[in-house]
Amino acid sequence: MSILVNKETRVLVQGITGREGAFHTEKMLEYGTKIVAGSTPGKGGQVVQGIPVYNSVTEARAAHEIDASIIFVPPAAAPDATLEAAHAGIPLIINIAEGMPVLDMMRVVKEIKELPGIRLIGGNCPGLITPGECKLGIMPASTFKAGRVGMISRSGTLTYEASAMLAAAGIGCSTVVGIGGDPIIGTTFIDLLPMFNEDPDTDAVVMIGEIGGADEEMAAEWISKHMKKPVIAFISGRTAPKGKRMGHAGALIMGNVGTAESKLEAMAKANVPVADTMDQIVELTKKTLGL
């Protein structure tokens, strides 16, 4: 099994008629993701990669059972598209857009919190993948191998890197979730750790954090209280200077908040081993799993 998505997950692609939407629809279909419908306002009735297109999420929902939606629309329109999916009752929404105004995302996240049973992943994320079953994102499929390690990451490319390194060492993943590099995101470490904790097919979790905010500190506290499975952490941006935004809008040290030191300290307190380099993620995972 896995968390959030599997081979049965029925997927809607919002913005399916756009260049990115069509390209990634093809890639996801190749992987075996069960895409059942697409939507683009004004393009209802078209067919993309054999998938019927509807004018709205509500229309798509009326014609199909949908478990998850992935959004490929430009950043200015992505917050609205996210709310469209949420109000249509899609339980899992993946927003990959980079460059959305922070105020918009605060409002989206708040509004979705008030809708029961709706989960948003992202924005500014690569999506998630349950290797061998369902790819709901833009990650290169070849780097992921099915297995029993869960992964949660604020960085897209580091997710690919870590998964590829684990795969090369013969270690596969149950589900890999890119939670996104923005300061305001729908789902963070402490939302996903409990799911992996309960997932019978996950033996350990790799969490890839970075400077900015206190999500890793909160995760460390949760782990020390509730986590039954080993967690291996990696923190990116240890040498980044204060007050400079490191590519990700959320990777910013403000005053004494968000420093790598604070995160490393929190992990140490929670007895979570931290990999100093990417290679060490593999070593620590092997050691933890007794491989």
Q: Residues in the chain, how many?
A: 291
If one counts every other C-beta atom within 10 angstroms of the C-beta of residue 144, the result is 25
What does residue 184 show for φ and ψ, rounded to 5 degrees?
-115, 110
Q: Is the CB of 203 or the CB of 210 nearer to other proteins?
A: 210
Q: Is the CB of 67 or the CB of 98 nearer to other proteins?
A: 98
Distance, in Å, from the CA atom of 14 to the CA atom of 44, rounded to the nearest integer, reads 12
SS3 193: helix
Q: Is the CB of 45 or the CB of 255 nearer to other proteins?
A: 255
CA distances from 264 to 109, 125, 154, 244, 261 (A): 28, 23, 16, 20, 5
Residues sharing a CB contact under 8 Å with residue 69, sequence separation 6 or more, in sequence order: 11, 12, 13, 14, 57, 85, 90, 92, 93, 94
Q: Is 64 a catalytic residue?
A: no
Distance, in Å, from the CA atom of 196 to the CA atom of 193, rounded to the nearest integer, reads 5
Residues that bind other proteins (CB under 8 A): 75-76, 99-104, 106-107, 109-111, 138-140, 142-143, 153-158, 160-161, 164, 181, 183-185, 208, 210-215, 218, 236-241, 244-251, 254-256, 276-279
- Least separation in angstroms between CB 181 and other proteins: 6
SS3 60: helix
CA 149 to chain centre: 15
Q: Is the CB of 51 or the CB of 251 nearer to other proteins?
A: 251
Q: Is the CB of 149 or the CB of 211 nearer to other proteins?
A: 211
For the annotated catalytic residues, the residue numbers are 248
